[in-house]
Amino acid sequence: MNIALIAHDKKKQDIIGFSTAYKHILAKHTLFATGTTGTMISESTGLSIHLFQSGPLGGDQQIGARIANNEMDMVIFFRDPLTAQPHEPDISALMRLCDVYKIPLATNMAASEIFIRALDRGDFQWREIVKANLKQDAKK
């Protein structure tokens, strides 16, 4: 599965801790991340991560494009709800795309823990069915 990892500045240590704790699960999947977050996770865990631009420089939009093309299966986004973000419209657009394209989105540690455990159990295999159906529809 393709998983995007994103974190606001004040949440970067949290996502690093999360990624370290669940490295054994994340290593089985294809990981994508915004630049700074992905670099920090990769350096801390050794996980292979495809890096996009930093969020404020367009990384959120790059992940959004993958969502719109059905190339992302899950987004784990450790948001900081107490700090204003200069690129808030990009964040809102990313979250809206997750809703439109039915992409599971966790925005905090609690939801992310539920997602990662469900991922390990195979509870997100329905995404493979969705992708297969979309490929069949595109051929028609």
The catalytically annotated residue of 9, 14, 60, 80 is: 60
Give SS3 for 30: strand
Contact residues for 31 (Cβ-Cβ < 8 A; gap 6+): 3, 4, 5, 38, 47, 48, 49, 50
73/71 Cα distance (integer angstroms): 7
Asked about 9 being catalytic, the answer comes back as no
55/128 Cα distance (integer angstroms): 27
**φ, ψ dihedrals at 109, nearest 5°:** -60, -45
Residues labelled as active-site residues: 60
